[in-house]
Amino acid sequence: ELDRTAAAEASALLDTGRTGTVALSEDGSHCPGGLTLLVETSVPPPRMIVFGAVDFAAALVRAGKFLGHHVTVCDARPVFATPARFPEADEVVVDWPHRYLRRTRTDARTVLCVLTHEARFDVPLLTEALRMPAAFVGAMGSRRTHDDRTRRLREAGLGDRELERLRSPIGLDLGARTPEETALSIAAEIVAARRGGTGLPLTGGAEPIHREPGPERRVVSRL
């Protein structure tokens, strides 16, 4: 039990490219007082790319940084995409979203959040994004916007398997209204997707709170 818990906790830190300590009891529970593990990684933090320098983007940038992401904001409109509007972002890029996505570095941990909800930006961008091995691809918009976007993406040549990867409307149902609440709902969905969570309340549930990683994610070995 201790080995399983240690592997899961270490994997969580490694996923985010973080070096840190994990305190566990000798029976494997998440309580300090037993032993402390040092997890060291040279892996860079995962990227979050926020497309659309809209009002909600600043709150999402803060949420992404809190989760440990290297956060980039990209928008084709230089009047909106400025470091002054997004001081907490690691990068602010002025470029057409689909063009930037083609040339920038991404991997299987990358999170792509599309907040523009304008077809001229969304369709070419999502056509690229849904064909990449990104960890998460989500797009903001109403259900009507989503239906229209899906139709346009089909016309652009995407099939069912690719469209199934799109999380739209983005975020979990928290009843969010403010930009901060919306960012929280998006961040919660990103975590749930990464960790295999259901997004349901823990109250009254019978499933384990902490899920074990799959065999391919058990990266810790005993020395």
Do residues 114 and 136 both lie within one domain?
yes
pLDDT tens-digit map of 94-118: 999 999 999 999 999 999 999 998 8
Q: Answer yes or no: do 65 and 175 share one domain.
A: yes
Are residues 65 and 143 both part of a single domain?
yes
**15 and 107 belong to one structural domain:** no
pLDDT score recorded for residue 36: 83
- Residues 5, 107, single domain; the answer is no
Q: Are residues 31 and 106 in the same domain?
A: no
CA distance linking residue 175 with residue 178, whole number of Å: 10
pLDDT confidence tier of residue 4, bands split at 50, 70 and 90: confident
Residue-wise pLDDT tens digits, 125-168: 999 999 999 999 999 999 999 999 999 999 999 999 999 999 99
pTM of the model: 0.81
| pLDDT for 7 | 80
Asked if 58 and 122 sit in the same domain, the reply is yes
Domains held by the chain: number:
2
Q: Are residues 136 and 98 in the same domain?
A: yes
Identify whether the C-beta of residue 52 lies closer than 8 Å to the C-beta of residue 37: no
69 in the same domain as 14: no
Q: Is residue 61, in this structure, part of any structural domain at all?
A: yes
Structural domain for 114, as ranges:
47-195
